[in-house]
Every structure is written in C-alpha cells, then in structure tokens.
Amino acid sequence: MPAPNDDHAGSRIQEQRRLARLTQRELADRIPYSLSLLNQVECGARAATPGFVAAVAQALKVDTSLLAGPPAMTSLPPDRLVALVAPIREALDRYDLGPLPVLPTVRSVPELAAAADALCQQVRATHLRAAAKTLPSLILELTHTAWTAPSTQAWRALASAYRTAHDVALKLDHPDLARVALDRMGWAAGRASDPCLEAVQRYKRATLWRCATSLPLISSGQALLAGATSREAVVVIGQLHLGAATVAAKNGDRTAVETHLAAARELADRVGGEAGEVHWLSFGQVNVRLHEIGTSIVLADFDEALSRARRLKLPASTLTSRRARYLVDRALVEMEAGSAKMSLRYLAQARKVAPEQTRHLPGTRSTVRGLVRMSRRTPDGLGGMARWIGL
C-alpha cells in the first residue's frame, strides 16, 4: 500500500477518482487526455499540468484546489475556524498587560478554579467548540484576577486554562497557537510555584514536536520532581515516562521506548487504577497500554500494535477523548493489516463517540486515505467518511 504521506496531485486525483467510484478508463473517457497519461500522473511518474488538473476537476465535479493544493487539515470552514481560534489567541496575548481596564463581573477564585476544571472536563469529553467559545472569557477573567489579587490558587487556575487552550488549539490543528498556550502555562505555573504543573507543561512541550530538546524537557520535568513521593508526583513522573517513550519512538530508539514503558508500568502499579483527578492525566495501566499501541504505530510495528489493540479492553470509565484515540488507532492498524471493513467500522465508532476530535485527528486522515488507495472500488460508507473529514 502506498505510504500515507505519499501526497502529490496524482495521488489526490486517484483518491477523488476512487471516491467517485470510477476506474482509470472511465475517468480517461471523460477528459481530453489519454489513459496512459492519467496512469502516469496518478503514480507520480508525470507531473499534473494546470490544464490536466482543471479537466479532471471538471470531470469529477470537485474544486481544482482539492487536487492541486495540499489537502485541508480541518473540516471546519476557514471563517468558522478563525471565529473559534482568534479570541483564544487574543486572550493569550493579554498575559503580561496587567489588569483589564473593563471587566463587567469577576467571580471568586474558587469559582474560577471550578470553571477551569469544568473546561478541562469539556475538552476530555471532546466538546471542543463549546470549550473554545467559553475559554477566552475565562482566560481574561483569570488574568485580571491573577494581577489584581495574586494567589497560588489563581495562578494554578490560570495555568490550567492555558493548558486547555493548548489542548483545544492542538485538536483544531493549530500547533503554533498550542505552543503559545504552553509558554503561557509555564509562565503561570512558575508564579504558582507548583513543580507538578511545571512538569506537566514540560511533558506537553516535549510531545508537541519532534526536536532535539524533547528529551531534555522530559528530563528537566523529572528533575523538578526528584525525591517527591506524593500520589500527584508519581502520576506526573509516570506520564513523563510515557512522554519519553513517545519521543523515543519518533526517534526510532526501540530500547528507550521499552525502558520508559517499563518504568511507567511500575509507577502505574504504585498508583493503582486510573488517576483521572491528577491534572486530567488519567495515568494508569490503561494509559500505559494505549501508549504501547501508539509507540508501536510510530515505529511502524503494525502487527504488534494490532495485537496489543485487540487485547485491550477499555473500561467504561475511560475518558471519551482517550476512547476516540484508541478507536482511530485501531482503525489505522486494521487498515495496515488489510482489513478494510474492520478499519471503517472502527472509524465509524470513533466518529459516533467523539465526532469533533475524530474529524481532526491525523490518524483519521491517514486511515481514510489508506483505505481509498487500497480499494479498487470505494466501499459503502468510505466516501461519506472522506467527505466528512474534507478529503
């Protein structure tokens, strides 16, 4: 099967042709170009000229940008996405400007902290748009409070709101904004003098990008908690090991992956159950097993990933966001194993469980594109799934 990142005009033409349930011969009969040229363009041996792309787009009744340009990474129309993201960006920019000149009402710090926790819960329930709409005003209110009546609880709540801004931005495919939000989280966590929050921030930074600083970030987070034995610290240290395993997988270091996963398993045994109340990390054996699947996928060990995915039974208490991620990962490895019907079934389950999150997960797009390429005729339901994610 072609690699999911094999992305050029020809591959996109092939995808759209198959979604239209046309053979190469049937499409060639509808355009003023030969079957031989169409075949060469689709396999990447010949470049698609603007005229060729325009003719194919007209025959398939799609916009030329869908064939000629990079595929859209979000299904939301640009104006609606900007309407969600721009207020978050503006609220983040207010961080160092002191109290707001005008603010109609200001809740108490306990009320604001509860509101920040409620937003975390919304995101983990995958209600992204609802959280995105509420988030800017909460950040502004917390910023004002932290400047006018600074306290550890206020700074912690502001750091939590910034962390939620990171999660929302990342799930809406705005990694640049996610990085800004993490910078703000570190700034607020430092003022709260909360080493666990600071360590969580470094974990998030380390897993956001594959870069030379990822492992030092993990190490510095662990150093912040050196010698700490509280349940909170053990959970965060365990999550840092899972982050290190993810980074090691991206670097192709299988030995380090197993070392960090083993350490996480031991810490999960000490925690007992899923610690969902600790910084919304839900660290525990289930989380470790989900990371085992994820690191196997990153390492392209799809048989191992599928074996682990089939053995894992998620408890009813599993967060919706984690359940959706598992279902998309399961769909991806089923597709890699050649089980198109099973793959599409798991994608449909993920869409039902968490439509907003599933639509934006990179694994969803990779799986749908893989299914399109491996199918001579588009299976029932795949065309609708492809349209739903904007393919």
Q: Give me Rg for the CA atoms of the chain.
A: 23
Q: What is the dihedral of CA 214, 215, 217, 222, to 10 degrees?
A: 150
Please check the confidence at residue 322 and state whether its pLDDT lies above 70: yes
Question: What are the domain boundaries of the chain?
Answer: 1-71, 76-193, 217-318, 328-391
Q: What is the DSSP letter of 49?
A: P
pLDDT of res. 378? 64
- Could you give the CA distance from residue 86 to residue 168 in angstroms, rounded to a whole number? 12
What's the whole-number mean pLDDT along residues 302-312? 94
pLDDT at 72 over 90: no
Task: Report the distance separating Cα 109 and Cα 319, nearest Å.
Answer: 27
Please report the pLDDT score of residue 1 as a whole number.
41
3-state secondary structure of 298: helix
- End-to-end distance of the chain based on CA atoms, in angstroms? 18
Question: Whole-structure pTM over 0.85, yes or no?
Answer: no
Cβ distance 56 to 13 under 8 Å? yes
Say how far apart CA 133 and CA 275 lie, in whole Å.
28
CA–CA dist 378, 389 (Å, integer): 16
Q: What is the DSSP letter of 276?
A: T
More confident call, 174 vs 183: 183
Q: Give the pLDDT mean for 46-63.
A: 82
Q: What pLDDT sits at residue 234?
A: 94
Q: 3-state DSSP call for residue 275?
A: strand
**Torsions phi, psi of 146, nearest 5?**
-60, -30
Architecture of the domain spanning 1-71: Orthogonal Bundle (1.10)
Angle between helices 231-250 and 214-224 in degrees, nearest 10: 170
Residue 379 is classified by DSSP as P
Q: How far apart are CA 92 and CA 86, in angstroms?
A: 10
Give pLDDT tens digits for 20-41.
888 888 888 888 888 888 888 8
Do 266 and 288 touch, CB atoms closer than 8 A?
Answer: no
Task: Enumerate residues 6+ apart whose C-beta is below 8 A from 340.
Answer: 371, 374, 375, 379
